[in-house]
Structure 1
């Protein structure tokens, strides 16, 4: 999953993804699964969790992540774009011809297949 994002941009995108957690709490493993859509680097994943906690986005307690801001859901009609082409899903690696991209204020995340974009956003 090559990307041209800087370390700072990656952390910002990860924090923004966590800001959009719709659940009041989720297991740390599930939060990490979502963060892996942004980066597979353990160091960057830890930086994302630390930054999100420092900014009041989440609270970590043991193996549980709690949202502090109540989460705000991603609007599929305006924040998820589809593009046709030859892509590999960023989450599972499957070849796809329709890529789903999530547009955040800090950048775009994707491509994902139709079911993986729902998993990354916590809709499945």
Structure 2
């Protein structure tokens, strides 16, 4: 699936689970996790389904408003998993118009575009 295709509900779940599996932080508060998941969907029911699926698959643990990742060492590799394309884009995180779109390539599909600072926030390299 590419960014130009409309993702199905299941595609969004898989992208969200992949995103959670690649978080660099070992632990996040739920609000920070949801902020990242909003790059996949703003539907609260679907967000809950992504969190439930990630929990059932052993990717995260949820406890007292926090999530902990259980797949240590997995993170987005900028050299191989992030592609940059030139064009007219709108950042999926902040909505700003951008001319260089950063796209994360997961097994389940592509997530983006993001601006240069938002891509780092989405994967957890910056808060």
Q: CA deviation at 1:21?
A: 1.2
Equivalent position SS for 1:123: coil
Give SS of 2:16's match: helix
> Deviations 1:14-42 (Å, cap 9, x if unpaired)?
00000001221111111111101111111
Q: State yes or no: 1:109 paired with 2:111.
A: yes
Structure 1 stretch displaced more, 93-102 or 61-70: 61-70
Return the match for 2:65 from 52, 63, 66.
Answer: 63
Aligned 1:1-124 pairs, distance under 5 A = 4-124=6-126
Q: In the superposition, relative to structure 1, how do residues 114 and 33 fare at CA in structure 2: closer, same or farther (>3 Å)?
A: same
For residue 94 of structure 2, give the secondary structure of its aligned residue in structure 1: coil
For structure 1, list consecutive stretches of 5 or more residues without a partner in the other structure. none
* TM superposition score normalised by structure 2: 0.93
Structure 2: tracts of 5 or more residues without a match:
none
Q: Moved runs in structure 1, 4+ residues, more than 2 A?
A: none
The number of aligned residues is: 123
**What is the alpha-carbon root mean square deviation over aligned residues?**
1.2
TM-score (normalizing by structure 1): 0.96
